């Protein structure tokens, strides 16, 4: 059997082509990188954190681990923020690492342009980017001595959309109990309308273009140490720590 011989010229040509392929860095987006979404910037972190590694960084909790006691216990907050959220950030950074030195867009751009991402990183960015985005907001949606009811335009909009604030709370909690497995329940703004919705895993409503106003993490890691399997008790106690000022600010910014 005769083996096909490759001439020296052909070998050099093949090597040159391979070199050209290696020299071209892989690109995060299959298509040219999209522009940032229009409208006012919606910062997801309240503190300017230094970036020890990046491009994504774990924002500090805006209060002490035990600040939400007795409704959410300190150990849960510690593990949830320092381990779970950190893992999302680390894995997101890993997912985009091979695209350096290409500038990596912000998390909102990534989540709203999922279809344009390279297929081999899309799932990692969906899960870990969603986890980073959702949790960055979640910490700020809570505060010590929170709770009560939203005033101003958001309060009026909730009454108009859900009948009353109490009706809204009932519907939101009922929706949270219906999430099968791990996921989130959300109050979002879509085309100027308030909506209740749920997402599985770490999917974010932002991917569908819905602005997140308020969200409840119903993964077991968010409540199991204190509430075990009783999600309803966690969802009920959580109203005592909701930071309505933060939610109302997001509503006003989204409407602007």
Round to whole Å and give the CA distance between 201 and 150: 28
Looking at the Cβ atoms of 105 and 129, the one nearer to Mn ion is 129
Contact residue for Mn ion among 44, 113, 173, 217 (CB under 5 A): 217
Q: Taking Cα atoms as reference points, which of 141, 113, 150, 128 lies closest to residue 45?
A: 141
Looking at the Cβ atoms of 95 and 222, the one nearer to Mn ion is 222
Cβ contacts of 124 within 8 Å, gap of 6 or more:
91, 92, 94, 95
Beta carbon of residue 138, minimum distance to Mn ion (angstroms, whole number): 7
Q: Taking Cα atoms as reference points, which of 177, 173, 178 lies closest to residue 162?
A: 173
Beta carbon of residue 222, minimum distance to Mn ion (angstroms, whole number): 5
Beta carbon of residue 53, minimum distance to Mn ion (angstroms, whole number): 21
Q: Is position 219 an interface residue for Mn ion (rule: CB under 5 A)?
A: yes
Round to whole Å and give the CA distance between 223 and 215: 15
Beta carbon of residue 137, minimum distance to Mn ion (angstroms, whole number): 11
In terms of phi and psi (left: phi > 0; alpha: psi -120 to 50; beta: otherwise), the region of 191 is: left
- Name the DSSP letter for residue 50: -
CB atoms within 10 A of CB 165: 14
Round to whole Å and give the CA distance between 32 and 37: 15
Beta carbon of residue 21, minimum distance to Mn ion (angstroms, whole number): 40
Looking at the Cβ atoms of 203 and 217, the one nearer to Mn ion is 217
Cβ contacts of 151 within 8 Å, gap of 6 or more:
244, 248
Tokens of 243: 């930071």
Q: Is position 203 an interface residue for Mn ion (rule: CB under 5 A)?
A: no
Looking at the Cβ atoms of 108 and 217, the one nearer to Mn ion is 217
Interface stretch with Mn ion, choices 86-94, 142-150, 170-178, 211-219 (CB under 5 A)? 211-219
Which residue number is nearest to Mn ion in terms of Cβ? 217
Looking at the Cβ atoms of 165 and 224, the one nearer to Mn ion is 224
Interface stretch with Mn ion, choices 63-71, 102-110, 214-222, 235-243 (CB under 5 A)? 214-222
Instruction: Give the total of residues touching Mn ion (CB under 5 A).
Output: 3
Beta carbon of residue 64, minimum distance to Mn ion (angstroms, whole number): 18
Contacts to Mn ion by CB under 5 A: 217, 219, 222
């Amino acid at each position: 059997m005769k083996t096909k011989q490759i001439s020296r010229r052909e070998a050099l040509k093949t090597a040159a082509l391979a070199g050209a392929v290696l020299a071209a860095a892989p690109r995060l987006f299959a298509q040219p990188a999209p522009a940032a979404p229009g409208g006012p910037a919606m910062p997801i972190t309240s503190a300017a954190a230094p970036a020890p590694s990046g491009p994504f960084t774990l924002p500090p909790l805006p209060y002490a681990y035990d600040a939400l006691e007795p409704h959410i216990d300190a150990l849960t907050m510690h593990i949830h923020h320092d381990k779970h959220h950190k893992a999302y950030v680390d894995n997101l950074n890993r997912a985009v690492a091979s695209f350096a030195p290409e500038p990596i867009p912000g998390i909102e751009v990534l989540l709203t342009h999922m279809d344009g991402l390279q297929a081999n990183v899309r799932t990692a960015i969906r899960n870990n980017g969603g986890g980073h985005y959702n949790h960055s907001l979640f910490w700020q949606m809570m505060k010590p001595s929170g709770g009560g009811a939203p005033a101003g335009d958001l309060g009026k909009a909730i009454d108009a959309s859900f009948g009353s604030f109490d009706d809204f709370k009932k519907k939101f909690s009922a929706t949270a109990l219906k999430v099968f497995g791990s996921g989130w329940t959300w109050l979002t703004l879509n085309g100027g309308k308030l909506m209740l919705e749920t997402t599985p895993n770490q999917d974010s409503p932002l991917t569908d273009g819905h602005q997140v106003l308020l969200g409840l993490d119903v993964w077991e890691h968010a409540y199991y140490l204190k509430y075990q399997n009783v999600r309803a008790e966690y969802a009920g106690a959580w109203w005592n720590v909701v930071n309505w000022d933060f939610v109302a600010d997001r509503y006003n910014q989204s409407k602007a």
